[in-house]
Amino acid sequence: MDGEQEIQKAYEAILNNDFEDAISWFEKAVLSEPDNASYHYKLSITFARSGKLGKAIDHAVAAYGLEPESEAYQYHLTTLKAKSLIAEADKCLDQSREREQLQTAIALLKQAAALDPLSAEACLKLAAAYAGVDDYDLAVHAAKEAIRLEPLNKAAAGLLEEYRRKLRQYLKP
């Protein structure tokens, strides 16, 4: 079987909501044509959708390495790196509410937001991390950015109001 037939089998598996089988077929396509950037890219997307971020990044790197002029491959890799930073920041936020951990999370989330300026998730988590260190001015700013990116996000709107209230309390003489 050639790579294109394996890609078709992968798409059939996706249509049947069998993402593990799709991954298997995409992997076979990559093995049959390891220098085909498109195959790595498709496998990367499927890994990402299956929550396998590390493998998704590996194949995104491979796709971009094979075709560095591709804006689509570059964008995909950049957004995956941002998701990885967000996941790393989540670990810091989950482990402890100590100031040092929050500062680490803030640094990671700022990097994620710079890599993917359309990530409302990074902005919301950044707002929460800023609030955790009592920097309500920056928390309000980050929450506003999340709302700008996702105007219908009720959680962001609620956090924005909460952080505005806390900022007013914080600024009272």
pLDDT, residue 127, reads 97
pLDDT digits (tens, 9 = 90+) for 25-83: 999 999 999 999 999 999 999 999 999 999 999 999 999 999 999 999 999 999 999 99
- Higher pLDDT residue, 93 or 140? 140
What does the pLDDT read at residue 96? 66
- How many residues make up the chain in this entry? 173
The 3-state DSSP class for residue 133 equals: coil
Residue with tokens 């950049």: 78
Dihedral angle at the C-alpha atoms of 130, 133, 134, 138, nearest 10 degrees? -20
Of 45, 58, 42, 119, residue with least CA distance to 83: 119
Chain segment 73-117, per-residue pLDDT in tens: 999 999 999 999 999 999 998 876 788 999 999 999 999 999 999
Sign of the dihedral through C-alpha 148, 152, 156, 158: positive
Copy the structure tokens of residue 17: 């909501």
- Closest CA relative to residue 147, chosen from 138, 128, 160, 163: 160
Question: pTM value?
Answer: 0.87
**What does the pLDDT read at residue 97?**
74
Gap between the Cα atoms of 142 and 136, Å rounded = 10
Decide: 74 and 64 in contact? Cβ < 8 Å.
Answer: yes
